[in-house]
Each structure stands twice: as structure tokens, then as C-alpha cells.
Amino acid sequence: MNKSEVIKNIIDGKIVAIFQGDSEWGPRALGNRSILFDPRNPDAKDIVNKVKRREWYRPFAGTILLEHANNYFEMATIKETPYMSFAIPAKQKAKDEVPGIIHVDGTCRIQTVTREQNKHFYDLIEEFYKQTGVPILFNTSFNLAGEPLVETLEDAKDTVNRSDIDLLYTPEIL
């Protein structure tokens, strides 16, 4: 499945997991082992929390193309945040266009991404931007509640089969 078809599925309300490259380490999903959804959906958090079997209050993040970050978030002196390290105040544009990733306090723990940092993930978000005018995807870790992050392709397939994740996207294995 190509990136255009994957994005059409996301636009249609499907939950997509992406599996590519090396496994990530640390507390964040950075686009190699992620669950993706349409951030424009105001119920996104509830929908994905149900699929992940997580508590209702768990927040989510958004991954945005770096060149658009200042249009949606109050970046101040932060030039980029590739590791979702900061909860950044959302501008009204973000609150209006991507309510599914904005926390009750008006912030979002964003990840900025460039093509050099993660080509396949960047290209997928860029395709979402081309189809919707929004350069952001809802992004959370590829695992279910109480389980470690997906490590192998077999883990990924097993997690998808045991959940309501609709699609597994493996851009390196087409």
C-alpha cells in the first residue's frame, strides 16, 4: 500500500500503525513505531485510547512538518522538538484545525520532523498535508496498554491482530 492510500484510510477514520526502521528507545513514539490517526477529529483521543485500552485522560501528541510548526504552535525560542520533549501552547489555528491532539490546557506535546530525520514519516505527513491542508498527524506509541512498545515485525502483526488497529503500514516492505 502506498502513502496516498494510507492517508486516504486515515482521512476515512481508520487507525494506522507504522512500522519501519530501527526500534525507537525512550518514552516517545517518533514515527518508526507509531499509531497514527486524523488529528482533525475532535474525538481522536477517545477513539485511540479505546483501541489502545488506555485510560481516558491519557494525552496524545502530534507530529508536524517542521516548516509549519510556527503556524500552529507558540514555538518562542524553540527551533525544533524532534523528541516530543515540550508541551507547546497551541495557537488558535491548531485549536480549530487539529482539536484531537490539543490537551485541555491548550498545549500539545509536539514532535517536529524533517525529511532528513525520518524520510518515510515526513513523506506520509506531507501526503496528509497535500490531501487535507493540515501538516500534522496524530501520533502515539505502537503498543497496547500495559505492553512494551512493538519491537519486531512479528510483534507489530500480533498487536494489530489483537486490537482494532485497522492497518499496518510498512513503507520499507512494499
Q: In this model, does residue 174 exceed pLDDT 90?
A: no
Instruction: Tell me whether residue 174 is in a domain.
Output: no
Q: Which of 19, 59, 66 is nearest to 39 (CA)?
A: 59
What is the predicted pLDDT for the residue at 80?
Answer: 95
Reading the block at residue 63, the C-alpha cell is 507530529
- Dist CA 57 CA 127 (whole Å): 30
Instruction: Tell me whether residue 140 is in a domain.
Output: yes
- Dist CA 133 CA 129 (whole Å): 5
Q: What is the pLDDT of residues 60-100, one digit of tens each?
A: 899 999 999 999 999 999 999 999 989 999 999 999 999 99
Instruction: Tell me whether residue 137 is in a domain.
Output: yes
Q: What is the pLDDT of residues 3-46, one digit of tens each?
A: 999 999 999 999 999 999 998 876 677 899 999 999 999 999 99
- Dist CA 146 CA 102 (whole Å): 24
Instruction: Tell me whether residue 132 is in a domain.
Output: yes
Instruction: Tell me whether residue 159 is in a domain.
Output: yes
- Dist CA 142 CA 35 (whole Å): 5
Q: How confident is the model at residue 58 (pLDDT cuts 50, 70, 90)?
A: confident
What CATH number does residue 147 fall under?
Answer: 3.90.870.20
Q: How many domains does the chain divide into?
A: 1
- Give me the domain span that covers residue 57: 3-169
